[in-house]
Structure 1
């Protein structure tokens, strides 16, 4: 009887672990993980704003007090520079790898001069850049990314309707481009 109860307990623990593994791996099997969904928004190296509830053609932004834009990128052929500047009360940036693990995050309070100016590169690319930092990167925040692909999420706070236009312009003017030393 004792071995029978032991076998049942082991079976239940094994079944629970199997269910947890299946549930956690489901997004990668369905193709509906965050990275795949962001890739479907449009071309790489360009911020795409998330829509409010009224526009069903674009992905939905579920927080009315925030405006959000996303950009997919690859650092395989060179670093990516993220830049945005504008008169918004608050902005934040989060950079994720292709497995949706957060690589880096910051906001306007932790940036240099309140503007978003970030360079994302592989460790090898950053070594070359740090040897001779180009003048245009002197105020930039350098971010090391171990993988080659990822996405960035840029959000800005819209406390009142009167700030809506400034927030929209901030996201529309944000850039997510391949960096070349002559920029």
Structure 2
């Protein structure tokens, strides 16, 4: 009986200590999620190129063969359009919600004619778009976002130093902007 009481008491004390540690360490981890870091890059609806070393938000481009840019958005009022002209040999786009769940991804081989042309809309906006199709969106890939906020990660491959300028130019020319009139 004493052994059982000792085991229960030890378990309770261990649980209390564990909960205290978790509660005290929580402020250390708050605000360090990917969405918060992308938001810290600057204003919404604009691509920000990431450098090789971590910036003030703690984001960095960790792959020497890729150039990376991020953009955070809110589609509550208007849908978002992601555009870029034909780019380097390989590029990819990934869309995430504010909880860093991937909601969509594509690359140059799955795009229409190699161009980036994506429209991100919430369910209400999607219903409106389906009701009255817009001619300007005939070649756009339309993505329904369940939540209004999120971020996009655009990557361009540059496996050789001679291709870095083309990849950087592709990211600079990329547009992440709300759509008027939808």
Distance 1:12 1:156, change over 3 A: farther
Q: Normalized against structure 2, the TM-score is what?
A: 0.84
Counterpart in the other structure of 1:7: 8
Matched, 1:87 2:77: no
Aligned pairs for 1:1-183 within 5 A: 1=1, 3-4=4-5, 7=8, 11=12, 22=22, 26=26, 30-53=30-53, 59-181=59-181
SS of 2:162's partner is helix
Q: Structure 2: 5+ residue runs without aligned partners?
A: none
What do the CA deviations read for 1:158-183 (whole angstroms, capped 9, x no partner)?
1111111110110000000001249x
Tell whether the 8 Å contact from 1:119 to 1:141 is kept in structure 2 after alignment.
yes
Distance 2:160 2:75 in 1: 37
SS of 2:172's equivalent in the other structure is helix
Once superposed, which parts of structure 1, at least 4 consecutive aligned residues long, lie more than 3 Å away? 1-6, 8-19, 25-29, 55-59
Are the counterparts in 1 of residues 83 and 117 from structure 2 also a CA contact under 8 Å? yes
Gaps of 5+ in 1: none
SS in 1 for 2:68: strand
Mapped to 1, the partners of 2:74 and 2:42 lie a distance apart of 14
Specify the structure having the higher radius of gyration (Cα): 2
Deviation at 1:10, TM superposition (A): 5.5
5 and 114 in structure 1: CA distance in 2 versus 1, 3 angstrom threshold: farther
Per the TM alignment, residue 3 of structure 1 is displaced from its structure 2 partner at its CA by: 3.2
Offset of 1:149 from its aligned partner? 1.0
* Length, aligned pairs only: 179
Question: 2:49·2:171 contact (CA, 8 Å) conserved in 1?
Answer: yes
Query: 1:12, CA displacement in angstroms?
Result: 8.8
Q: Matched residues in 1 for 2:112 and 2:174: separation?
A: 16
What displacement does 1:97 show?
1.1
TM-score by length of 1: 0.84
| Greater shift in the superposed pair: 27-36 or 99-108 | 27-36
